Chains A and B, each alone.
Chain A
Amino acid sequence: MRVIVVGAGEVGSSIAASLSASHDVVVVDRDPDRVESLTYELDVLAIEGDGTSLETLQEARVADADMVIASTDNDETNIVACSTAKTLGDVFTIARVKKTSLLRTWERSEGVFGVDFMVSVNLLTAESIVRIAGLPGAQDVGTFADGIVSMAEFGIAADSPIADQSVREADRFESLTFAAILRDDDVTIPTGDTTIEAGDRVVVIGSPESVRGFAAALTPDPTLSEANEVVIVGGGEIGYQTARLFEERGIAPRLIEHDPDRARELAEDLPETIVLESDATDREFLDREHVDEADLVVATLDSDEKNLLVSLLARRIGCARTIAVVNAAEYVDLFETVGIDVAVNPREVTAEEITRFTYEEQTENVAMIEADRAEVLEIEVDRDSVLADTEIHEAATEFPEGVVVGAITRDGAFITPRGDTVVHPGDHVVVFVDTEVLDEVSSLL
């Protein structure tokens, strides 16, 4: 597939990097330095020019491309780039936008602006934060099949009740599948005898209730409910969207914003949120506002360093759990190592969203595990699939190593997959796949 990425900023470069392995990627950017460095860093064609001009797009051979991903920092530029690309050929266009209002307009009438798919980075990040917040102890959370199926990744501490147990012993939960154990750099597909060790990360797939039940069994942290104290630091678009989503779930968060004008704006837009105008690194202020008693502190400031500082400070004074937005992908692990419970990378979130368009059409939803080491796919089973009308253990013999059928939904109902479960065409299956065998599995399913 020929993919043109307009805008080689952090997100654009990241998308280009993740796509370059299996696709022909052309990157367009106005900054000659960036174009030059990309040419050497990635196996892509980098072109200098304005992504909204016909000339540049013609140079990038949009007419021959399958997909245009407009990913500059400017919403309007991205939209115009998509519209312009549409005039040159029948190409699938993806626009990244910051403004949620544009996304709302697009949702009303998909395809408007010449945009086939619109991705709001900030909104996706906020959704991701709120999803993770709802599951204590979880490092990553994904939902599939309209929310009937949940996927979650948990770190196993030494004092965890399932540490040093075999999967068979640990498997005490209805409709829950242990999809994978991530140990060091390995992805292990567990059998009943596999032992879960401290320091492992386990990926489970199941109904939302069972995943919540599993989370509750793992950690004593309370689940997020109305009574819970959530503090959001930073009133940028991500902070704003996060607060809004918490409000939608009936939780009244507190939002700390330093800029008075922005604070006022936020206070006007967020009726249930208590907006506090202050510096979040002011100890005295944090004490006065009892941030130490918060169940969750979310740091959504612009700079990774500040988010790290705020999160560490919050942990230090006694807050139960911290989630921080980390823009630099390479810091995600580091941040989680030094004490931030969950680091959310907007680019990774965006990449996940965009990646699902690079898969074949039948893929409904994708979640990436541990930066590309594995993926969880939702697939609608058709007649050609090896799963169609066969029992799972029979079909499984055709699969390579590294594949687990985690859940099945039929007509909106959850079905726990067991060896003798027969999958019908039209069912949705949620499958855990090791990235190494992804292409092979995709063709089988």
Chain B
Amino acid sequence: MNVRVDWRASLSLVGTVVKYLAVALVLPLATAAWYGEGLLTFGATILLAVTAGTALERLDPDPDLGAREGFLMVGLTWLAVAIVGAVPYLIAGEGTVAAPANALFESMSGFTTTGATVMGDISFDTHSRALMIWRQQTQWLGGMGIVVLAVAILPELSVGGAQLMDAEAPGPGIEKLTPRIAETARVLWLVYLGFTVLEFVLLYGLHMGGHAPNMTFYNAVAHPLTTMPTGGFSPEARSIEAFSAVVQWVIIPFMIAAGTNFALFWHVLRGEPSNLLGDSEFRTYAGAIGVVSALGAVILFTGPNLVGPDNPFPVAGNLESSLRHATFQAVSIVTTTGYASMDFEVWSGPAQYVLVFAMFVGGSAGSTGGGIKIVRWLVILKSIRRELFTTVHPEAVRPVRLAGRALDERALRGIYAFTLLYFALFLIGALLIAVDAARVGLDLAVIEALTASAATLGNIGPGLGMVGPMGSYLDFPTTSKLLMVGLMWIGRLEIIPVLVLLTSGYWRS
């Protein structure tokens, strides 16, 4: 076979990214030093990242990046960082995540901001604080995109940067905010960093003010690291339920911001707030959150089976409580964050179905949210409207418009193809998970297989049943976990860039 892809160039750049990952590993190393924990875990990982990265870089001292090499580089980068990110779990040897498949699962779940966990016991008794902060940090790194980060810092990527970001960034197409793509990447990361710091200040401020007893300095650092990337990992076993109501209210707007197109914030910072409020995707996004929250709140408020002697959360009949939990959960699922303010396993059937429905909405394009993305739904709805119109007027020529601009028909086809593929992969994933569970004799309900597939492909995290917000993916057989690693990987890169690597046409001329 005559390979027409310069894979050496791609691998070389993957090596560069892996090498620089060592810089990120300094934070858990420092955490370990601060808390007097062993330095070996992260010291060894840093050494490994630098060595492996440098070795890969040697493959091509002067990598030249074309469109094809870009796809390969982006796809492999995410796989490589997930593998390197798994090393600390393996070396630390603490709890269930020390097993190789589990370590890879946890790492991939982190970098892809999925938030699905295989930790059997989320507590500092089992896991060191340094390992837990690494787990949080993988999500923060993955949120705005490792490749976007690489484009922002590495001058050698600036030429092919637009293609790279296109292959990685959530949503169809990228919006160049500045003439130079590296500058755009930097702007996005700065906005991202800004929100993270702001959330930390607010959360820790609440703690200092006595309104959030459990929001210690450690937690106040750890949670913004997984709110802003819509990740969902929490060092607390009870997720956000572990915190006071005011903390839950504070986190809601940050999740909403994380699911918003970051380019819009940049416009707001430049003094054009109308760009945010007038954006059709943002309005639809806000509308979707509003509708799901309201539905959830009504069901919770009137729900008959939610107040029992064993249920510590009196939501039924309590306006603030039902509103808060419904909104929090709606935002958490729509943005694909995956935090839980309460165990929605105890919710009534209809309320749960609302959440399952919300799983397929997704965040905005250019946000850190996963899923199908609002903008695609918007375009699909408009296409359907056009279809109905042209049925009545067969000669009508109607471009589908987004924010007043007519969309190219090719872009539309791309969106249809993506959405169809998304559902196909979701169903195939659910089927394979169900078959695999049956193979090992695991008793899996249909909704569990479906939501496990949807939650990993959409980078959401929690599903229903066994994989509910307080549960874990630990009990799945290794084969299912590896499948889900693949689903998370494909889901984060928006399917096409990964699938294209599997076609023979990509590799040949």
Contacts and interface: CB of A to CB of B under 8 A. Distances in A.
Given A263-B397, A274-B398, A275-B398, 5 more contacts: A267-B406, A268-B406, A275-B396, A289-B393, A289-B395
A28 B393 CA distance: 49
A289 to B, nearest CB: 7
B399 A264 contact: yes
Interface string B100-119: 00000000000000000000
Interface residues of A, number: 17
B354 to A, nearest CB: 35
B379 to A, nearest CB: 15
A276 B399 contact: no
A275 B396 CA distance: 5
B404 interface: yes
A285 interface: yes
The B interface, classified by DSSP as helix, strand, loop or mixed, is: loop
Contacts of A288: 394
B401 interface: yes
20 contacts: A256-B395, A257-B397, A260-B397, A264-B399, A266-B397, A267-B398, A267-B399, A271-B401, A271-B404, A274-B398, A275-B397, A275-B398, A276-B396, A276-B397, A277-B395, A277-B397, A278-B395, A285-B395, A288-B394, A289-B393
Nearest to A269: B406
Contacts, number: 33
Contacts of B395: 256, 276-278, 285, 289
B401 to A, nearest CB: 6
Nearest to B401: A271
A43 B394 CA distance: 54
Interface string A243-257: 000000000000011
Contacts of A256: 395
Contacts of B394: 288
A277 to B, nearest CB: 5
Interface string A224-260: 0000000000000000000000000000000011001
Contacts of B406: 267-268
Contacts of A268: 399, 406
Contacts of A267: 397-399, 406
A276 B393 contact: yes
Contacts of B399: 264, 267-268
A274 B404 contact: no
Nearest to A282: B395
A159 B150 CA distance: 81
A68 B25 CA distance: 76
Contacts of B398: 267, 274-275
A263 B393 CA distance: 14
A271 B400 CA distance: 10
A278 B397 CA distance: 10
Interface in B395-435: 395-399, 401, 404, 406
Contacts of B393: 274, 276, 289
A256 B396 CA distance: 9
Interface centre among B393, B396, B397, B401 (most CB of A within 10 A): B397
Contacts of A277: 395-397
A363 to B, nearest CB: 41
A265 to B, nearest CB: 9
A264 B396 CA distance: 10
Contacts of A257: 397
Nearest to A235: B397
Contacts of B396: 274-277
A243 to B, nearest CB: 13
Interface in A274-324: 274-278, 285, 288-289
Nearest to A268: B406
Nearest to B389: A274
A268 B404 CA distance: 9
B190 to A, nearest CB: 35
A268 B399 CA distance: 6
Contacts of A278: 395
A289 B389 CA distance: 12
Interface string B360-399: 0000000000000000000000000000000001111111
